[in-house]
């Protein structure tokens, strides 16, 4: 009877070990948590703004964009596959894909990619802000 105890217990534990390993590997996958397509107006010049990378903020030139049906310019750091040329205002269609991966330092992020250029017009965009740098950042780092 004792001889059967150890092999039987291993046999009973095997499914739990297998499920545990499968669940552990399940968390290692990059998961798409959302996808959306929308239209943007991209201003004819870039504006200084704040970007986030590697755990910190830094000042860089960013796109000034208006989302569809909006009159407010807002900052946009990066649009994949977009070959921007200063002096032109663009109407573009982009995709936004949201990801989740707990194995990364920043587990949730979004990627933006150009799908189509609808128009490219040589002009000076109107109503652009001087910058997109928030006042709290200027106060903290201007000392």
Q: For 17-62, what is each residue's pLDDT tens digit?
A: 444 444 444 556 889 999 999 999 999 999 999 998 767 788 999 9
Mean pLDDT (whole number) for 100-126: 93
pTM: 0.76
Report in angstroms the alpha-carbon separations of 27 from 13, 36, 100, 138: 22, 24, 10, 39
Cα 65 from chain centre: 16
pLDDT in tens, 54-105: 677 889 999 999 999 999 999 999 999 999 999 999 999 999 999 999 887 7
Q: What is the pLDDT of residue 23?
A: 47
């Amino acid at each position: 009877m004792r001889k059967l105890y150890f092999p039987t217990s291993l046999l009973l534990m095997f499914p739990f070990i297998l499920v545990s390993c499968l669940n552990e590997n399940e968390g290692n996958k990059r998961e798409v948590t959302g996808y959306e397509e929308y239209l943007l107006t991209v201003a004819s010049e870039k504006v200084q703004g704040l970007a986030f990378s590697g755990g910190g903020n830094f000042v860089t030139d960013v796109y000034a964009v208006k989302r569809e049906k909006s009159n407010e310019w807002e900052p946009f750091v990066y649009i994949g596959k977009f070959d921007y040329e200063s002096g032109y205002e663009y109407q573009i269609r982009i995709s936004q894909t949201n990801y989740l991966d707990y194995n990364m330092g920043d587990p949730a992020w979004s990627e933006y990619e150009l799908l189509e250029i609808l128009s490219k017009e040589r002009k000076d965009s109107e109503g652009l802000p001087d910058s997109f740098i928030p006042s709290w950042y200027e106060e903290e780092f201007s000392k």
